Amino acid sequence: MEQTHKKLEGRLIIVAYRLPFKIVQENDHIQLIQNSGGLVSAVLSLAQSQQNAHFQFADKIQWVGYTENTPEELEGQNIENENFRAHPVFIPSELNEHYYEGFCNDLLWPLCHYFPSLAKFEDKYFDSYQAANQLFFEKVRAILQPNDVIWVQDYQLMILPELLRQEFPDHKIGFFFHIPFPSFEIFRLLPTRWRIALINGMLGADVVGFHTNDYVEYFLKAVRMVVGHGNKLHYINLSSRIVKVDAFPISIDYQKFNQAFDDMEVVRYRSDARHSLTEKIIFSVDRLDYSKGLLYRLHGFQRFLENCPEWHGKVSFVMIVVPSRDQIEQYQQMKSDIDQTVGRINALFGKINWQPIIYQYRSLSFEELVGMYTASDVALITPIRDGMNLVCKEYVASRKDLRGVLILSEMAGAAAELGEALIINPTDSQDIAYAIKKGLEMPLDEQTKRMLAMQGRLKEYDVFAWTNDFFTQMIMIEQEQEKLRQY
């Protein structure tokens, strides 16, 4: 089908906590090392594959984000690569500690992932959150041009849209929330002043996006309860403006993962894994985080080994945990619990020629990752909560051979779109054990049927459809705002 493009006069300014690359000083020049992660992958696809994008912006994508470098290091440097031009935000380390480690990661992250007992409520965290959002605001203000479209990302920047709106009433501003928006009973745990600031902050945008309809509903209830605005069909009327709230399930560059199946390096990693491991392979990859359900997953695998002795020696569980935040005591404790549980299960069930769990604490290259996706018989993705989870979508997209079984937590946003997966409750080890057995024994024709259905959906709604959907809403809402101004 012929692709239609809409050319926009302005530039796209992404504002996210982090820049999309690390900036490394090398003698007299700087080197940019691409970060990974859901948002970077999504926007990178948009930048790299402009022929697939429905919207084309003036100039390359501008990215405002925090960097660990000092202003002196970057003085006079043009920080850009073929995809992005970076506008670094410098946050003093103590402020960043209270803002990012504190308010974002010790309060918002656990609350939004339904771990209220881990949340720390400290006034200095909130004050720092406001101060840091102000620094992002100042950077955007310094670079903003008349037709630019601003797209603010995630829970680190919830009050930025309102700061921008106050100074730039006519700019298009979008906001996207990448983690679960919690039910009101959780959200109301925040002190009143904070709740009001966060909700009003987000309402500074023209379009506020979430991954699922549930998150949209929870947000609309929070808006009603905290600041008293109702909505009509997800439009919130603020008298001077309208805000559209909707679900935009983030996706992946489907073709990139599907085509990677035949990449030479991927083929080599796949055949290495198949030749060196057992008849069947189970695979998982996650960042080290309590929301990922890693210990429950191991308990589920143990239960499977207890229930199914006929599978001993015939299956390996390759569990990759990507290092994250491991300077923090709680994460070190979690890692040590995982290390011990893996050791215990391997000691209990392993044989001289068979190790049930192959556990590695490192990240993989893209080729290794897809090599493992396509070598495995079962992908075991069992977060306790996850805004969306892109790993499961990548797994499905990469299976050009139409084989493989996805076991997926009902608590991942992606479960709403991938109903043909074996859906489990992530804390129920019996449920996980049963799904593993079912997955390993699933006939090929059933695997194919399920894969085809899921692939069809992902192919249709890929990352380009995601951005297209979001920007289409931004343009539609502008027309609505225009009508409102005429009254």
* Binding region for ligand GDG (CB under 6 A): 36-39, 41, 178-179, 250, 285, 287, 322, 363-366, 369, 386-391, 394
Q: For ligand GDG, which is the closer residue by CB, 116 or 323?
A: 323
Closest separation in Å from C-beta 244 to ligand GDG:
19
Give the residue nearest to ligand GDG (CB): 38
Q: For ligand GDG, which is the closer residue by CB, 388 or 458?
A: 388
Closest separation in Å from C-beta 391 to ligand GDG:
5
CA distances from 272 to 357, 369, 375, 376 (A): 17, 13, 9, 12
Q: For ligand GDG, which is the closer residue by CB, 36 or 50?
A: 36
In angstroms, what is the C-alpha Rg of the chain? Answer: 23
- Of 15, 22, 134, 11, nearest to 63 (Cα)? 15
Closest separation in Å from C-beta 330 to ligand GDG:
18
Q: For ligand GDG, which is the closer residue by CB, 161 or 387?
A: 387
Closest separation in Å from C-beta 347 to ligand GDG:
27
Residue-wise DSSP of 106-126: IIIHHHHTT-GGG----HHHH
Q: For ligand GDG, which is the closer residue by CB, 70 or 330?
A: 330
Closest separation in Å from C-beta 252 to ligand GDG:
7
Residue-wise DSSP of 427-444: T-HHHHHHHHHHHHT--H
- Of 179, 167, 246, nearest to 206 (Cα)? 246
Q: For ligand GDG, which is the closer residue by CB, 394 or 420?
A: 394
Closest separation in Å from C-beta 462 to ligand GDG:
13
Q: For ligand GDG, which is the closer residue by CB, 331 or 366?
A: 366
Closest separation in Å from C-beta 408 to ligand GDG:
12
